[in-house]
Chain A
Amino acid sequence: MKSLSRLFAITKKEVRQLRRDRLTFGMIVGIPVIQMLLFGYAINTDVRNLRTAVADQANTHLSRQFIDDLVHTQVVDIIERVETPGQLEELLRVGEISVGVAIPPDFDRRVVDPDRAAVHLLVDGSDPTISGVARQLRSMPVRFDIGDDVRRAENIAVRPYYNPERRMPVNVIPGLMAIILMMTMTMFTGVAIVRERERGNLELLINTPVNSAELMVGKIIPYIAIGMLQLALILIVGDFLFRVPLRGSVIDLYLAATAFIAASLALGLLVSTLARTQFQAMQMTIFLILPSILLSGFVFPFDGMPTFAQHLGEILPVTHFIRLTRGIMLRDAALAELALDLYFLIGFALVAMTAAALRFTKRLD
């Protein structure tokens, strides 16, 4: 009986404290509701509207008919028309499109030739699900208005670029790299300021001549080095164990990573100025990590998400870094070709850093 009443005393105390921690209480409601709403709508393996470009070198009645049929499947969304297959490859490499449709000049003759494919689909194999989806197009019922006696199979040849063997690690590791960096970087700095506030160090520090910017930047510099080290580890393990290629320049990758690490650290610092306790900082970080995994294109292709989810994904630094890593590592894209994503990361780092420094006033009230 005594043990039971002591047990209830503990439970009661726990509930009482939990109720007073408003952020935790908010998380209890917020995590399931917000995340369910977000991901319930956003997560969609039935991918549609893949960004697609067409090089129709035949430009016949038949080829135009084929393109119409392709559009009607809703799997592809034709955003650009180019002249040559070479241009398609270029668009694919810089990540502007996920699928390229190459229709050769002798399309009409190929359609009736059982030995040659009539259409080539150039597919971005650096995204795990896209090549799978594109392969489904191969079995698309193609309605050519010619006699039924002609063969139907293999009119469409799929050419997965960048990962022809379709090995999963090649697809996963560049994205995983971004997730790992984001998790560690944001978590490290997320607790950085709060820890000092909890231990009382902050009251001492803000009474010294050190200013907010010095304090913030000084705190993140060691973590940038740690991020670099983690990146090297991931690349080495990826190369040795999983034979993940690094086709682009290692310098480009490191430049992109520097911007991303800075953005993640700045985000962590911002969390640190918003949270009152280390526990709250951890909760906020977790709240950020979930969308970073699910909305960034790491697991589900970006094109498959509804527009509002895509907008949310665009705000996350990790989305842009995944584009950069896949581009540089798998598609041999140059950093200059992916400049927009790099600029976003730099901008994000600056904005988050400024917000953190502004929020962190050297006062206690």
Chain B
Amino acid sequence: MNSDAAIEARGLTKRFGDLKAVSNLDLLVPRGQIYGFLGPNGSGKSTTIRMLCGLLTPSEGVATVLDVSIPGDARLLRPRIGYMTQKFSLFGDMTVYENLQFMAEIYSFPKADRKARIDELLAKYDLVEQRRQMADTMSGGQKQRLALACAVLHRPELLLLDEPTSAVDPQSRRDFWANLFRLAESGTTILVSTHYMDEAERCHRLAILDHGIKVADGTPQHLQESTGMHVVEVTDDDPYAAQSVLHELPEVASVTQLGVRLRVLIPDQHDAPLDIVKNALTRAGIDAHAAIVPATLEDVFVAVTMNCAESHS
């Protein structure tokens, strides 16, 4: 297979009983990039990541991860990947240092370099002061830095991160992403799942998952340019009234409220979307400001998951 790709999957499917958690997923993750999985809870993000590292056996389909075919040869893959679980999974009754030491031993990291590597990670991930602290007593952000430090200790070629930032504050998230970029720059491929739009926007490429189906993929920019929707932003002090009016229009695909603003999606087969909105508001006697704006990733998300819901029904 293509060795420029860190991950290549075709027709990956996972069934749990009657539930299709992941359905016919094709995936191509280039090396050295940050690839995002964006999707709501239950969209199949975790299941896909678990299949890719050999924790779950696909019901159908094949995948090659770092030129290793899984799940068959997952054993060969283990030393070359780092995995960060959704839930904190290090040992709470061991100190930061002991946890790192344990991981170094488990991965047979060369003995002579162990201490230097651990010190380097403690410094890099801002854990020097916590080195003797029990992992359970740390804050969410600290735990997450420790988990990342443990996941990268053995210098994996591929890092799989399952919703790594779901339990931390915004500042910790920013720092965390700074660390990810640093890793990507040094050549590590990163697959990260998230349900935060701002995080998805930082990825080099991303796939949007919904109900186990990949509904879109590409660079964030490409996705924003090819939504197939016009986006009209309406600003009004009483957005509720405007929302009820716009909801009734047959041309409008969706209306999302953001404070006093409404984001209105209109499929691009309709011309003059601004007029459609303005006319409707005027007819209802609402004096609101409306303008065409570029699509955000959230608009993309709303648009593609809506299509999926339609095709489902």
Contact = CB atoms under 8 A, between A and B. Distances in A.
B50 interface: yes
A201 B89 contact: yes
A208 B150 CA distance: 11
A210 interface: yes
A208 B85 contact: no
B106 interface: yes
B56 A365 contact: yes
Interface in B200-214: none
Given A200-B85, A364-B50, A365-B56, A209 B78 contact: yes
A211 B107 CA distance: 12
Contacts of B91: 201
Nearest to A363: B55
Contacts of B83: 204, 207
A208 B78 contact: yes
A210 B154 CA distance: 14
Mostly, the A contact residues are: loop
A6 interface: no
B55 A200 contact: no
Given A201-B89, A203-B89, A363 B56 contact: yes
A209 B85 contact: no
Given A208-B107, A209-B107, A201 B90 contact: yes
A363 B50 CA distance: 9
A20 interface: no
A72 interface: no
Interface in B9-56: 16, 50, 53-56
Contacts of B87: 200, 203
Nearest to A201: B89
Interface string B62-80: 0000000001001100110
B90 A204 contact: yes
B92 interface: yes
A137 interface: no
A208 B55 CA distance: 11
Contacts of B75: 209, 211
B169 to A, nearest CB: 21
A211 B76 CA distance: 12
Nearest to B162: A203
Contacts of A205: 106
Given A209-B106, A209-B107, A364 B56 contact: yes
A363 B57 CA distance: 8
Contacts of A200: 85, 87-89
25 contacts: A200-B85, A200-B87, A200-B88, A201-B89, A202-B89, A203-B85, A204-B85, A204-B89, A205-B106, A207-B53, A207-B55, A209-B75, A209-B78, A209-B79, A209-B106, A209-B107, A362-B74, A363-B54, A363-B55, A363-B56, A363-B71, A364-B50, A364-B55, A364-B56, A365-B56
